[in-house]
Amino acid sequence: MNAIEKVGEYASLMYRTITKPDRWSIFWKQYVNEVKKQGIDSLWIVVIISTFIGAVITIQMVLNTENPLLPTYSTGLATRDTLLLEFSSSIMCLILAGKVGSNIASEIGTMRITEQIDALDIMGVNSANYLILPKITAFMTIIPCLVLVSMFVGIIGGYCVGIFTDIITVHDYEVGIQYAFIPFYVTYSVIKGIVFAFIISSVSSYYGYTVKGGALEVGKSSTDAVVNSSVLILLFNVMLTKLLLT
């Protein structure tokens, strides 16, 4: 199947997915379940990675800005902007593409090969809407929280460097993270997160939903979902940055 056919198939699947649910009560039940599965269960990995990356960025900034011409607060400022502009949205979503994307693709793929999706279709249920819409909406609504948590704990990670080492003083770091703060950077990051969440959940659902064969193909579809979501995230990152920041 060539790329154009795949895009067409993806668009057709999304057309079937983004419609009014057959039963709102069932949709909300699925939605809450997905928020827990994709959001709450991803919180720990977001916290761990953001804390350590925040700390590492701070240390590297100190080492790379050892210049008497640069103000002492530049480390905090650079750490904050790196986290806000790029890490907490783009890099975090690339990491979540691995966790959430593979989970979605393998779950739906397994349902496909064990005829559970056929069973839904035979019952007259819109299987795409029933299975995929709660995943997309749940991930798109929980991602702003994950992005904000990532920003917050990332900055805390840098703060810990000031507290537990003598590389940078807490005062310099505090001044840096408050200096020339542009609130739109947070909005920009959240917007990117929402777009990337749609890419991850919809592309992974597509690869799971259209799988043919057995367990081997489910594994392959899971890998394809992660790879293609990641490539699209990088592509849209450039486009959104151009659109929103220039």
Partner 1 sequence: MIEVQNAIKTFDGNQVLKNVSAIFEAGKTNLIIGQSGSGKTVLMKSIVGIHRIDSGHILYDGRDITIMKRKQLNQLRREIGMLFQGSALFDSMTVLENVRFPLDMFSDETEDEKDRRARFCLERVELSHAVDLYPSEISGGMQKRAAIARAIVLNPKYLFCDEPNSGLDPKTSLLIDKLIQDITHEFNITTIINTHDMNSVMEIGENIIFINKGEKAWQGNSNEIYDTGCQPLEDFIFASELFKKIKHVHSSNK
Which residues in this chain contact partner 1 in the complex, by CB under 8 A? Answer: 22-23, 26, 110-111, 114-116, 118-119, 121-126
CB 65 within 8 A of CB 173: no
Tokens 């839904």 label which residue? 120
| Cβ at position 16, least distance to partner 1 in Å | 9
| Cβ at position 121, least distance to partner 1 in Å | 7
Q: What are phi and psi of 69, to 5 degrees?
A: -80, -20
Between 115 and 178, whose beta carbon lies closer to partner 1? 115
In angstroms, the Cα distances linking 52 to 55, 58, 83 are 5, 10, 12
Residue 151 and residue 160: Cα distance in Å, rounded?
Answer: 14
| Cβ at position 122, least distance to partner 1 in Å | 4
Closest CA to 199 of 39, 44, 14, 12: 14
Between 111 and 147, whose beta carbon lies closer to partner 1? 111
In angstroms, the Cα distances linking 200 to 29, 53, 143, 230 are 21, 22, 11, 8
Local structure of residue 166 (DSSP, 8 states) = S
Tokens 């806000």 label which residue? 84
| Cβ at position 110, least distance to partner 1 in Å | 8
Residue 147 and residue 215: Cα distance in Å, rounded?
Answer: 33
| Cβ at position 140, least distance to partner 1 in Å | 22
Between 121 and 174, whose beta carbon lies closer to partner 1? 121
Give the pair of three-digit tokens for residue 99: 């966790």
Between 41 and 245, whose beta carbon lies closer to partner 1? 41
Between 124 and 183, whose beta carbon lies closer to partner 1? 124
Between 122 and 238, whose beta carbon lies closer to partner 1? 122
Distance of CA 186 to the CA centre of its chain: 15
| Cβ at position 32, least distance to partner 1 in Å | 14
